[in-house]
Amino acid sequence: MTTVIKLVIVDLDNTIYNWVDFYVPSFNAMIKELVRLTGIDEHVLRESFKRVHQKHKTAEYTFSIEELDVLSESNAGLTVPEILQKYNPAIKAFRIMRKKTLRRYDNVIETLEKLRSKGKKIVAHTDAMMFYAVYRVKELGVERFFDGIVAPRDHGLPEGVRPGDVRFYSDEKYETIIPFKKELEPEIVKPNPECLNEILRYFGVEGNEAVYVGDSLHKDIYMAQRCGVHDVYAEYGRQYDANYYRQLIEITYWTDEEVAHELELKALSISPSFRIQRFGELMGVIQTIESCTIP
């Protein structure tokens, strides 16, 4: 009996695009502009951002500038729209740099097209919140290839802010043509098997009929193996600017306990079933799996 792969589940950050090398330069551009606007030391601003990120358990929070404690005194009495207007040059600097640096990896479009032509269902799965995940697949022109997208639910609006006050949930970029969109509770993140089992249940496939491709051994690969799904390690996703990664750690939301847990996961001896050096190699892996005969 031969194996037929019916479902391909794809991680997004550092699998479809290089998240580290677009996000950190964009964040740095915003910080540089904030220094100019406020006169506050860059290091002080970064520490303030870190506190906001830790509060909301994400390094991507739409209202970070509005909640910076080092700006609370100068922003006293201002509404959120007024604060956004005040610091709009910094927000614009982030967006301009993001436009320059957010790029698909090579062969992504071609490979997704081939998968669809072979009748495979494709699902995007990420630990990034849904708003940001949807924005990026739309911005990169790959939205049309996905039959589903699974991500943690969004952080919501700050107290006293209505959807019409800012372009967030009302932003057209949040809407998607992807048929299946599942928001998970924030605590259900990789490598929790429930992330993957939810996808398998919805599409009605067994673990051996699915492939999961991602760049993290202790999250993506470990989770896939726990669920009996064919795992593919996107090794190329580990190739990012080391200096950018160091800067990312400085503003991350991770607590000491979360860092310790991360180290525990990384200490696990995990051997991927397949490794790829570029996204385009995924087709060859699937062909190999499907050519194997199971007694």
Q: Cα–Cα distance between 53 and 58 in angstroms, integer?
A: 5
Question: 119 by DSSP, 3-state: which?
Answer: coil
Q: What is the pLDDT of residues 231-256, one digit of tens each?
A: 999 999 999 999 999 999 889 877 66
- Of all residues in the chain, the percent with pLDDT exceeding 90 is 73
Place of tokens 């990312």: 248
Does 33 score more than 60 pLDDT?
A: yes
How is residue 24 written in tokens? 């950190």
Residue 124 near residue 133, CB atoms below 8 Å:
yes
Strand order in the sheet with 148-152: 180-184, 148-152, 121-125, 7-11, 210-214, 230-234, 274-276
Question: 111 by DSSP, 3-state: which?
Answer: helix
Residue 25 near residue 101, CB atoms below 8 Å:
yes
Q: Cα–Cα distance between 200 and 68 in angstroms, integer?
A: 41
| pTM attached to this predicted model | 0.90
Mean pLDDT, residues 76-81 taken together: 86
How is residue 101 written in tokens? 């640096």
Q: How many CB atoms lie within 10 A of CB 173?
A: 12
Mean pLDDT of the chain: 90
pLDDT of residue 154: 82
Q: Residue 170's pLDDT band (boundaries 50, 70, 90)?
A: very low
Radius of gyration of the chain (CA): 20
Q: What is the pLDDT of residues 97-129, one digit of tens each?
A: 999 999 999 999 999 999 999 999 999 999 999
Quick one: which of 17, 64, 70 has its CA closest to 45? 70
Task: Kindly report which listed range (110-114, 167-171, 288-292) carries the lowest average pLDDT score.
Answer: 167-171
